[in-house]
Amino acid sequence: MPELRKDPVVGRWVIISTERGRRPSDFPVEPVRPRGGNCVFCPGNEAKTPPEILANRPPDSAPNAPGWSLRVVPNKFPALRIEGELEPSGEGLYDRMNGVGAHEVVIETPHHSASLASLSADTVAEVLLAYRERMVDLKKDPRFEYILVFKNHGGPAGASLEHPHSQLIATPIIPIMVTEELTGSAQYYEMKERCVWCDILRQERRSRRRIIAEANGFVALSPFAPRFPFETWILPTRHRSAFEETGIDELRGLAELLGDFLRRMDRVLNSPPFNFMLHTAPLRDGPLEHFHWHLEIIPKLTNVAGYEWGSGFFINPVPPEDATAALRAGGE
Amino acid sequence: MPELRKDPVVGRWVIISTERGRRPSDFPVEPVRPRGGNCVFCPGNEAKTPPEILANRPPDSAPNAPGWSLRVVPNKFPALRIEGELEPSGEGLYDRMNGVGAHEVVIETPHHSASLASLSADTVAEVLLAYRERMVDLKKDPRFEYILVFKNHGGPAGASLEHPHSQLIATPIIPIMVTEELTGSAQYYEMKERCVWCDILRQERRSRRRIIAEANGFVALSPFAPRFPFETWILPTRHRSAFEETGIDELRGLAELLGDFLRRMDRVLNSPPFNFMLHTAPLRDGPLEHFHWHLEIIPKLTNVAGYEWGSGFFINPVPPEDATAALRAGGE
């Protein structure tokens, strides 16, 4: 029997469509395997990107030259532009604003054919640290209200380059999905005086029905009402609203769990394309009792179609309990 | 310069990313062309679908046999099941409900290789009339709160069968996207005592910057803040909240404009895959002063990626004014 389930944070219902119940092998994907070659993100081609904003490189190496282990550069085709003041304006009943923002690319490694799943935990920790460093720096710009870090891995997940990279976009506006999480979690807090994600963690760690893996103060779990098959969240077990306040040791612990999860996903789902998105508190909010940062990971296995676009109601053919069991079994 | 624009109904901002400005030819699609063949929706295979709920057929023809011009059947692999009472239940802090609902398929024509763009206006009107008839009938079932009619055309838009068909899903819950439109438009109405879509129509018909076509009491326009390149809305110029109260003559007029628009889209974008979704008022609401039914059409040209999934903030590389100009020029 299919089931309707409600996300306890944003109140979004999903349809868990067991009639269409599917196993991992029912989602044939073209595995993401870099064809290699020499790309604009490869060492030696530093001049083909805008000048680097941040790089991990030996002290004696020149900027924008080989020798680095990680680079952050402005996106060459940015969705938003860094220059200019905010200028809200109207057109009759409509509102617009000039597109001020930052759009940066984190080149995660010099190795074209690597991936976050194959890199060492130390290297993944370097990537997470770069996210933190860029967030701390961009936070100083008073025009920005929010920074979203995300990754598109593989063409069907929206990546136009195969060299391992992630991106961040800083905007003068808090994105609607974050607002929905903030509103929902504030309502919950008002009622219970507890963080809803802390409550989720407590319940899931007790029942263990949807816990995929847990280590070093982080949990990877299947949410109760996932929009997508094998959607997974990684959360710190200790309450914290802002990702950028995570300590270096904690980031190392997160890097281990993230790598472990991505290798599970590669084994169970045949190296699928995927996206991940970091949900953290808005830049100006200070520590929040009701918000809990988390990383959302969604393998790209299905096409979103008319019903979802028209309703916001997602039809998910894989119960999260089945996804959990498969991903648990896919451990090393 | 890129621009941020806000949808005046739901308050969702989008990024109109002119840096990535694209013309129709920059979106190479595999044109949707049926390969033909004999499928489960073709005449002669009526026994391969569940028994018909509604059919347009001569009075002397037997049900579930050839001779029909349109059939409505239950979906063989329904996302929700028609049997059973609503049984809300909990699991700790979570809410669930058994998946009661209706999931039906409208087989639009006996001709496997036809499409809504190639069918006569009379035949398209027959399809729209079938939507209305099924809505009026399902409305009698007190378990249902909402019916969403939608179409997936072409594999990349989620269609698993190429024979022309649309679908409807009736749910015991009002989908979150409709709730957002209801909330936003009620707030607008409270402030202005006018329907926000009526105001949009007035402003757009005056400026004509985003009007693609207008005929028979209907307007096809590019919304001010579209999520997707070439996203188009069709609305009745006269205020009405419930689609199912549209008269037969009006449906004939809508059929003409819809066919005209789909042919423009096929010419300009090379017969792309697409989705459309009908947004109408909830079943139990009676006529609403603040809600205005409309059809949303989105060609499937781009992949939604991490930023959009994480933020709800869509990056659209085609300003709607450019989309309007291209679709206007694509008229017959």
B85 in a domain, yes or no?
no
The 10s digit of each residue's pLDDT in A280-326 is 999 999 899 999 999 999 999 988 899 999 999 999 999 999 999 99
Of A6, A199, A305, the CB nearest to B152: A305
Annotated active-site residue in B103, B153, B163, B165: B165
d(CA A200, CA A178): 18
Q: pLDDT, tens digit, for every residue of B44-74?
A: 999 999 999 999 999 999 999 999 999 999 9
- Within 8 A of B12 by CB-CB distance, chain A residues are 176
Residues of B in contact with A4 (CB under 8 A): 96-99, 171-173
Q: Domains in chain A: how many in total?
A: 1
pLDDT at A20 over 70: no
Averaged pLDDT score across all residues of chain A: 94
Give the pLDDT score at B28. Answer: 81
What is the 3-state composition of chain A as percent helix, strand, coil, each rounded to the nearest 5? 30, 25, 45
Distance from CA of B199 to the nearest CA of A (A): 8
> Inter-chain contact A307–B95, Cβ cutoff 8 Å?
no
Residue with the bigger pLDDT between B29 and A222: it is: A222
Most A-contacting residue of B6, B10, B94 (CB-CB within 10 A), to test interface: B94
Answer yes or no: is pLDDT of B42 > 90: yes
- Please check whether residue A91 lies inside any domain of the structure: no
Residues A104, A242, A158, B231: is their CA dihedral positive or negative?
Answer: negative
Is B90 part of a structural domain of the chain?
A: no
Token output for A231:
């959607």
pLDDT of A276 higher than 70: yes
Q: What is the pLDDT of residue B226?
A: 97
- Annotate A243-272 with b (16+ C-beta within 10 A) or e (fewer): bbebeeebbbbbbbbbbbbbbbbbbbbbbb
Under the banding of pLDDT at 50, 70 and 90, the label for residue A241 is very high
Any idea what the CATH number is for the domain that residue A185 is in?
Answer: 3.30.428.10
pLDDT at A34: 82
> pLDDT at residue B21 above 70?
no
Whether A191 has its CB under 8 Å from any CB of chain B: the answer is: no
Assigned domain for B233 exists? yes
Catalytic residue annotation of A: 165
Identify the CA nearest to B295 among candidates B250, B233, B248, B222: B233
User: Does A173 reside within a domain?
Assistant: yes
**E strand intervals along chain A:** 3-6, 13-16, 54-56, 70-74, 88-91, 94-98, 102-107, 146-153, 165-171, 211-215, 218-221, 232-236, 274-279, 294-299, 314-316
DSSP state letters, B263-305? HHHHHHHTS--EEEEEE---TTS-S-SS---EEEEEE--S---
* Confidence bin at B292 (pLDDT 50/70/90): very high
Q: Which one of A131, A148, A165, A176 would you mutate to disrupt binding with B, by most B Cβ within 10 Å of its Cβ?
A: A176
Residues 6+ apart with CB under 8 A from A33: A271
The total number of residues shown for chain B amounts to 332
Please, what's the b/e burial string for B50-81 (b: 16 or more CB within 10 A of its CB; e: otherwise)?
Answer: eebbbbbbeeeeeebeeebbbbbbbbeebbbb
pLDDT over 90, % of chain A: 86
Beta bridge partner(s), residue A254: none
CA distance A163 to A156: 15
pLDDT for B19 equals 64
Q: What is the pLDDT of residues A194-232, one digit of tens each?
A: 999 999 999 999 999 999 999 999 999 999 999 999 999
Q: Residue B193 pLDDT > 90, yes or no? A: yes
Q: Residue B272 pLDDT > 70, yes or no?
A: yes
B301 at A interface, C-beta within 8 A: no
ipTM for this model? 0.91
Ranked by mean pLDDT, which of A125-129, A171-175, B316-320 comes out on top?
Answer: A125-129
SS3 at position A57: coil
- Domain housing B278: 3-77+97-329
A156 reaches B (C-beta below 8 A): yes
Residues A97 and A40: their CA atoms lie apart, in Å, by 32
pLDDT mean over B316-328: 95
Predicted local distance difference test score (pLDDT) of residue A50: 97
| B81/A296 touch (CB, cutoff 8 Å), yes or no | no
Only one residue has tokens 């005449």, namely B43
Q: Please indicate, yes or no, if residue A88 is contained in any of the structural domains.
A: no
- Is residue B165 among the annotated active site residues? yes
Alpha-carbon span A144 to A33, nearest angstrom: 36
Residues found in chain A: 332
Average pLDDT, integer, range A75-95: 90
Q: How far is residue B331 from each of residues B262, B268, B297, B324, B327, measured CA to CA in Å? A: 10, 9, 17, 11, 7
What is the spatial distance between Cα B39 and Cα A120, in angstroms, rounded to a whole number?
51
Chain B positions touching A95 (Cβ under 8 A) are: 5-6, 8
- CB < 8 Å from A in window 79-108 of B: 79-81, 84, 91-99
* B7, B77, B93, best to mutate vs chain A, most A CBs in 10 Å: B93
Q: Is residue B302 part of a domain?
A: yes
Q: Is A154 inside any structural domain? A: yes
- Check CB contact under 8 Å for B177 and A311: yes
Rounded to a whole number, what is the distance in Å from the CA of A27 to chain B's nearest CA?
Answer: 14
Q: How far apart are CA A312 and CA A314, in angstroms?
A: 6
**Predicted confidence (pLDDT) at residue B36 exceeds the cutoff of 90:** no
Contact B103, B79 (CB under 8 A): yes
Average pLDDT over residues B117-137: 97
Q: What is the pLDDT of residues B218-262, one digit of tens each?
A: 999 999 999 999 999 999 999 999 999 999 999 999 999 999 999
pLDDT band for position A22 (cuts 50, 70, 90): confident
pLDDT of A18 over the 90 cut: no
Check: CB of residue A158 under 8 Å from CB of residue B306.
yes
Q: What is the DSSP letter of B200?
A: H
Inter-chain residue contact B157 with A305, CB threshold 8 Å = yes
φ/ψ of residue A233, rounded to 5: -115, 140
Helices (H), A175-283: 176-192, 196-207, 248-269
